Amino acid sequence: MAAVYRRAAPYAEDAMNLPVENVERAIPFYEKVMGFQVTERKEAPHNVAVLSRDEVRIGLAENGGDPTQEGCFFEVDDVEVAFAELKANGLDSDDAGFRVDKYGGTSYRVFFVVAPDGLCYCLGERQ
């Protein structure tokens, strides 16, 4: 069983322009571990790979930004299923560290994943 990714909310301004040092080296983690597929590539104004999964699209870009300062919140239908899926796909973590965070007036049960490229993702389910 796989989790359904419902939406992506970038930490900064643009989920389609997430900075990575090297797009080609970053892609395998997103395909193998996170279950995304490359759906589009662009070379101008810089190298970009657009990845999709369920209702979510993100873009990895060699734009000179700092990946350790970026990422996205992914709303999923079931955080426990999402963590189990990532772990089964090779995520190197035994403990999700689930917690409840409140954003605006909505509470989410969440956990965090830091990709090898340095981008940080929060996956959460509405409570």
Per-residue pLDDT of 57-79, as tens digits, reads 999 999 999 999 999 999 999 99
Kindly report which listed range (10-14, 26-30, 32-36, 75-79) carries the lowest average pLDDT score: 10-14
DSSP 87-113: HHTT---S----EEEEETTEEEEEEEE
Q: What is the CATH number of the domain that holds 10?
A: 3.10.180.10
Report the percent of the chain where pLDDT is more than 90. Answer: 94
Q: With a cut of 90, say whether residue 5 has pLDDT above it.
A: yes
Nearest 5°: phi and psi at 98? Answer: -55, 145
> Taking the model in full, what pTM does it have?
0.95
- Looking at the structure of the chain, the number of domains it has is 1
Q: With a cut of 90, say whether residue 1 has pLDDT above it.
A: no
Q: With a cut of 90, say whether residue 110 has pLDDT above it.
A: yes
Q: Which domain holds residue 41?
A: 5-126
